[in-house]
Structure 1
Amino acid sequence: MTALRECVIADYPRMRARWQNDSMMFARTAIALAAMLPLTAFAELSNDTLLGPGLRSRPAYDGSDSRKAEFVPVVRYLGRPWFARSTQGVLEGGLRAELAPGLHVGAQLAYEPGRQTGESGFLEAHNLPDIKRGGSVGLHLEWDHKFGPMPVTLLVRGRKNVDADLGAQADVRLSAGVFQGGRFNAGVFTQAVWASSKSVSAFYGVTPAQSVAYGLPAHDAGSGWLNTSFGLLWSIDLAPKWVVVGSFEQRRLRGDAANSPLAERVSNGYATAGLAYRF
């Protein structure tokens, strides 16, 4: 026993060093595996099929001091070839095809909300007419990729209103997942929207005749950048099949839209939250 004890004591430094090395290797492996966990629970950055009700707080129109709360759908379905979604700034659906791994091209129909005079005290005071709700047709290109554990989506989209007088718009949207902790996930996004002269003029222009009729300064609005925005995406897993999703967005008018007499302010906030079932 004495000999065995002396052997153990003599070998202790080597055994301790080996244990420390094994512990460090285990810790590094655990950290590496944790870093590989995908941040994919956001509605916008996930391929999960989602469906449910949501609530949104928004301005009456971009540039308005009036606000409105409304029910909105939470929809995300990415099939082959059909798709439908409300999770990337527009309620849209159509066809898509994969050109290469992570790269899709598609054609879509989208809902266009128009502008309702009754939602804005400013528009009502000047008796401006409604811009009717409608739709648009367009094309898009979407790239999905992961930089390590971080999912990234780049969407380039163009759409033309079915009402020719309302012109066309194009937007670029970049989204990234940045945090995952337990049931909570967070991401960020930024977006820029370009609009044709017809589109900007319809929503923010004031012709000389309208100036006289509505008591506003005339404003010639041309094509250019309509707005830019940045925001936060978030989700909370309530159960394996149920998730709460939402976003906060700050949007800023640009160009002739920002200088329009219809713009009571140049910056507006949006907030959305919804409960969705994950299929």
Structure 2
Amino acid sequence: MRLAFTISLLSLCAFAGKSQADALDIPSSAEPRTAPAAGDSLMLGAGLAYLPEYAGADKSRVIALPFLERTFDNGAFLSTLRGAGYQTTLGGINLSAALSYGGGRKDHRSTFSGSDALRGMGDVDGGVQAVLGLSYKLGSLGLSFSTTQSIGHRANGATYTLGASLPLYTSAIDQIGLGASAVYGDDKHAQTYFGVTAAQSLGSGYRPFSAKAGFESAGITVNWNHVLNKNWTLRSAIGVTRLMNDAADSPLTQRKTTPMLMTGFVYRF
């Protein structure tokens, strides 16, 4: 299941500062973390998320969110969520590039992905992805753009995400922020995740459907970051995503508007 909001919620677990001030610098769903880390760091985290079984699913599930990330002074990072990559800042613009693995979807409910509503559709194989991102601060408003390009399975296509974030409340130990994002998928991505071929129609019973490139979804998220002490941080988020255009019209889509909830703890050494 390759959903922008899934990635967004997972990223909330990823970053806890070495001090209270650092920990309050929390990325929202619309502002991916692209700024260099403040020196070498090692972070561990775990949490739970309540998410749809796939984009457009009627049913949701609770999944575990384990997390491990190592960052280095030179901007390199290794992460179970972000993959292996590099981040830097040029002229006030934060840039990042990484290789990760993802994009898979089962045609039946399994431990970590899939749904029985997709039986007969066949599995979508995961593969290596290139993830590129940039973000910029305009006063208190954060603006961002990121793209995920499938390398291992080119049929999975590419997505492009526009985002914005705004802090709502900040104190010594708490920060509440608002994030909004919109996701555009190319022809390959749209057909793979929302289209139904003639062969898939025979196997699944869904009517044939050709999905074209376009904006697939828009979402809004409220994030809460609570500093417990110099090492421990609690990250939580609640939001909603709305499918649009061919993604909303797909016969696979049983629910156009879906809620999401995540909470987790992060420990920074």
TM-score w.r.t. length of structure 2: 0.77
Secondary structure of the structure 2 residue equivalent to 1:245? strand
Code of the residue aligned with 1:82 in structure 2: it is A
Change (3 A) 1:75 1:228: farther
AA aligned to 2:27 is: E
Given the alignment of the two structures, is residue 273 of structure 1 paired with residue 263 of structure 2, yes or no? Answer: yes
1:198 is paired with a residue whose SS is: helix
CA offset at residue 85 of structure 1?
A: 6.1
Larger radius of gyration: 1
Query: Taking structure 1 as reference, are residues 42 and 118 closer, same or farther at Cα in structure 2, changes over 3 Å only?
Result: farther
Using the TM superposition, give the Cα deviation of residue 117 of structure 1 relative to its aligned residue in structure 2, in angstroms. 2.3
* Number of aligned positions between the proteins: 233
The answer as to whether partners of 2:23 and 2:233 remain within 8 angstroms in 1 is: no
Counterpart residue number, 2:75: 81
- 1:243 aligned to 233, 240, 252, which one? 233
Partner of 1:164: 154
Decide which moves more: 110-119 or 221-230: 110-119
TM-score norm. by structure 1 comes to 0.74
Structure 2 CA distance, aligned partners of 1:238 and 1:232? 19
How far 1:42 sits from its partner (Å)? 4.8
Query: Partner of 1:109: helix, strand, or coil?
Result: strand
Q: Which residue of 2 aligns with 1:29?
A: none
The answer (yes or no) to whether the contact 1:165–1:198 under 8 Å persists in 2 is yes
Which structure 1 segments of 5+ residues have no match? 1-36
Residues 79 and 70 of structure 1, relative CA distance in 2, 3 Å threshold? farther
Q: What's the secondary structure of 1:277's corresponding residue?
A: strand
Secondary structure at 1:154 match in 2? strand
Deviation at 1:74, TM superposition (A): 4.4
User: 2: distance between equivalents of 1:222 and 1:59?
Assistant: 22
The match for 1:33 is none
**Distance 1:245-1:138 versus aligned 2 partners, 3 A rule:** closer
How far residue 98 of structure 1 moved from its aligned partner, in angstroms, is 1.9
Structure with higher RCO (Cα < 8 A, 6+ apart): 2
2:87–2:95 CA contact under 8 A, matched in 1? yes
- Say what the alpha-carbon RMSD is for the aligned residues: 2.6
* Amino acid in structure 2 at the alignment position of 1:70: I
Is the 2:108–2:117 Cα contact (8 Å) retained in structure 1? Answer: no
**Counterparts of 2:169 and 2:84, CA distance in 1:** 29
Offset from partner CA, 1:215-259 (integer Å, 9 cap, x none): 111111011111110001111111121111121121111111110
Aligned partner of 1:121 in structure 2 is 116
CA distances 1:69-105 after superposition (whole Å, capped 9, x unpaired): 111134664753213568xxx73441123211x3122
Which structure carries more helix by proportion?
Answer: 1
* Gapped regions of structure 2 (runs ≥ 5): 1-19, 110-114
Alignment of 1:154 onto 2:148: no
Partner of residue 130, structure 2: 137
Deviation at 1:128, TM superposition (A): 2.1
Q: Percent identity?
A: 24
1:172 Cα offset (Å): 1.3
